[in-house]
Chain A
Amino acid sequence: MNPQSLQTYFDGAAFVALSPLIVIALGLLLLLLSSVLPVGRSVSNLLMLGTLLGSAALHARILASEQVPGLVVGRSYAADHTSAIWGILFVLGTLIAWLYSLRYYEDERAFQTEHDVLMLATPLGMMLMAGAHDLIVFFIGLELLSIPLYALAAFRRSRTKSVEAGLKYFLLGAFGAAFFLYGSALIYTTTGSISLDAFADDARRSAILGEPLALAGIALVAASVFFKISAFPFHLWVPDVYEGSPTPVTALMATGTKAAAFAFLMNAAVILPHSAANSVALIALLTMAAGNFAALVQTDVKRMLAYSGIAHAGTLLLAVAGSLAGDPKAGAALEASLFYMGAYVATAGGAFGLLALLERDGEHTTTLDGLRGLGQRRPVIAAALTLFMLSLGGIPATGGFLGKYLVFSVAVRADMTIYAALGVLLSVVALGYYLRVVIAMWMQSQPEGSPSVDSKPVALAATFASAVCAALVLWMGILPRWFLDTM
């Protein structure tokens, strides 16, 4: 490749499109450097914060501009309004997880900078996944997200549970990635292309879908993406990994990984045949059922939230099915997914974060019994957790309610009324376990003889993160117009 052709690959538009990613990559290198230089924690904290906010600002610039860069770098990466919104969402999820992680670790506090470096690598991977327009870029993004998460899951390496979570996540994640690669290889074998462009026009697309080898490849790729969003029947790893990982890392997994995989799924839905809509809707319902019914019997709140996350993935998958079946209102499925995921990032990030906060103070919070009487002991935290539970359950006036409403209306418009009705019923089942947490906190007293905990003052970072999450949940629930207009 001569220098001239390099210029056509990386021109001004490519620079604008990739600027949010470049900022993170630079911040990552500086952060690594700061861990070996004699500088204080405050410098690396500022660096982390500045990098994340800078990236979000650059995404916002793309979002605000009339002329989006579009497909750049040899049509392999797409930067438009949608990818900019996803990017801001990823930064938000990472920021929330990071703020809660600041006072979380005890034995591993000396490695906080390494922890931050790993955490900062994940949004880079997510952005690549969301903007990917060919399979290489998606693969790089997937691994840039997954490999740091394997290490983060096992970050409390003196605890068996944490190492176990890391190892399980690693083995299954790598197994899934291998499926993705073999599937891509099969797609490449039949189409001669690894770009999503190959599926762009209808004639070529139906020719490809007639080839059994290409269908097998698409099935393998879809299976690995379904694994990442924890859809039925690939959801069994989730509770163990979520329970064993350090709670701030769980917050990052629950919000970031899922959002990134959905972002790609919305882009790549073109490679699925229209006839797949019913199967996807069926998978969506089974995922919701598997998540909700398993969550009902959990006594560990972290595990319960893991199953609830599975159920939420199922709900969102219904929007994907709706868009496959052909929602007459163009772009509504995308809008619903963005809104739903936005509300979920704020809610689940806040909920897992508050659990991390309580855990640090030595409360036995990961169990339901440990939460009993929290309303008397720490009313503000209990109130915030209540708000998040109500939003996860889809109670009106919270962001979660409107997200559900938008998703189910996509399904109804796409003639999937039965699926939507069953989905609503399953959401009612879900209220059973969300309300159990609320009842435990406010209506039951602390069990006799349990050790009294001295509640340390809550760190500023965690207070700020909780306030942001709570404000977002309420704002999206009460005044959603602004969000919907931005999309």
Chain B
Amino acid sequence: MSFPPEHLLLLSAALFALGVLGFLIRRNVIVSLMCIELMLNAANLTFLAASRLHSGSETPDLQGPIFTIFVITVAAAEAAVGLALIIALYRLKQSADIDATTEMKG
């Protein structure tokens, strides 16, 4: 069973919007990290759907899938550093809330 690429594009746009909203609204840093992952995966889905859009029946367009693989790899590295930072914050503040970071004015 396969979906038309246009539907996948709409779905990924919705996912991206959800990620942005969640990032802006939620105060817990772990949830923020999850929202960022949601946005990245929305981009991945768009790449894959668009790749199908551009593929001929015989010649697949591989740029989209390759980009996706790079994004997944980099996102893993990014999440590792992010979680380490959250642990460092928790050790100092006993909290994983963005409002706990109030040492500086901005």
Query: Which residues, 154 to 209 on A, are CB-close (under 8 Å) to B?
Result: 154, 157-158, 160-161, 163-168, 170-171, 174-175, 177-179, 181-182, 184-186, 188-189, 192-194
A140 in complex: contacting residue of B16, B74, B81, CB < 8 Å: B74
Of A143-151, A376-384, A394-402, A452-460, the one contacting chain B is A143-151
Cβ distance B45 to chain A, nearest Cβ, rounded Å? 8
Task: Check A170–B85 contact: CB distance below 8 A.
Answer: yes
Of A14-22, A37-45, A236-244, the one contacting chain B is A236-244
Task: Check A147–B77 contact: CB distance below 8 A.
Answer: yes
In the complex, residue of chain B having the shortest beta-carbon distance to the beta carbon of A173: B78
Inside 8 A of B71's CB, which chain A residues have their CB?
139, 181
In the complex, residue of chain B having the shortest beta-carbon distance to the beta carbon of A142: B74
Decide: A237 near B106, CB < 8 A? Known: A154-B85, A189-B53. Answer: yes
Task: Check B67–A194 contact: CB distance below 8 A.
Answer: yes
B47 in complex: contacting residue of A178, A185, A243, CB < 8 Å: A185
Q: Is B66 located at the chain interface by the 8 A CB criterion?
A: yes
Decide: A163 near B63, CB < 8 A? Known: A175-B36, A185-B46. Answer: no
Q: Please, how many residues of chain B have a CB less than 8 angstroms from a CB on the other chain?
A: 45
Task: Check B63–A193 contact: CB distance below 8 A.
Answer: yes
CA distance A252 to B84 in the complex (A): 22
Task: Check B89–A167 contact: CB distance below 8 A.
Answer: yes
In the complex, residue of chain A having the shortest beta-carbon distance to the beta carbon of B9: A189
Decide: A236 near B106, CB < 8 A? Known: A140-B74, A192-B54. Answer: yes
CA distance A181 to B16 in the complex (A): 11
Query: Which residues, 57 to 80 on B, are CB-close (under 8 Å) to A?
Result: 61, 63-64, 66-67, 70-71, 74, 77-78
CA distance A140 to B72 in the complex (A): 12
Cβ distance B62 to chain A, nearest Cβ, rounded Å? 10
Task: Check A166–B85 contact: CB distance below 8 A.
Answer: yes
In the complex, residue of chain B having the shortest beta-carbon distance to the beta carbon of A135: B67
Total contacts A-B at CB 8 Å = 121
CA distance A213 to B16 in the complex (A): 15
Inside 8 A of B29's CB, which chain A residues have their CB?
167, 171
Inside 8 A of A161's CB, which chain B residues have their CB?
103-104
- Residue among A147, A167, A184 with the highest chain B CB neighbour number at 10 A: A167
Q: Is A368 located at the chain interface by the 8 A CB criterion?
A: no
Decide: A175 near B23, CB < 8 A? Known: A140-B74, A194-B63. Answer: yes
Cβ distance A189 to chain B, nearest Cβ, rounded Å? 4
Inside 8 A of A175's CB, which chain B residues have their CB?
23, 36, 39
Task: Check B88–A185 contact: CB distance below 8 A.
Answer: no
Task: Check A139–B101 contact: CB distance below 8 A.
Answer: no
CA distance A147 to B82 in the complex (A): 9
Inside 8 A of B78's CB, which chain A residues have their CB?
143, 147, 174, 177
B84 in complex: contacting residue of A135, A151, A171, A178, CB < 8 Å: A151
Inside 8 A of A181's CB, which chain B residues have their CB?
39-40, 43, 71
CA distance A151 to B77 in the complex (A): 12
Decide: A151 near B81, CB < 8 A? Known: A168-B101, A171-B29, A240-B105. Answer: yes
Known: A139-B70, A167-B86, A192-B53; 8 extra A-B contacts, CB below 8 A, are A136-B67, A147-B81, A157-B88, A161-B103, A163-B92, A184-B67, A188-B46, A189-B9
- Which residue numbers of B lie inside 8 Å of A, CB to CB? 9, 12, 16, 19, 23, 29, 32-33, 36, 39-40, 42-44, 46-47, 49-50, 53-54, 61, 63-64, 66-67, 70-71, 74, 77-78, 81-82, 84-86, 88-89, 92-93, 98, 101, 103-106
Q: List 16 A-B contacts (CB under 8 A).
A: A135-B67, A136-B66, A136-B67, A136-B70, A143-B74, A150-B82, A151-B81, A164-B103, A164-B104, A165-B104, A171-B33, A178-B40, A185-B43, A185-B67, A188-B64, A192-B50
CB-CB nearest 7 A-B residue pairs = A185-B46, A178-B39, A181-B43, A189-B50, A240-B106, A192-B54, A164-B101
- Which residue numbers of A lie inside 8 Å of B, CB to CB? 135-136, 139-140, 143, 147, 150-151, 154, 157-158, 160-161, 163-168, 170-171, 174-175, 177-179, 181-182, 184-186, 188-189, 192-194, 236-237, 239-240, 243-244
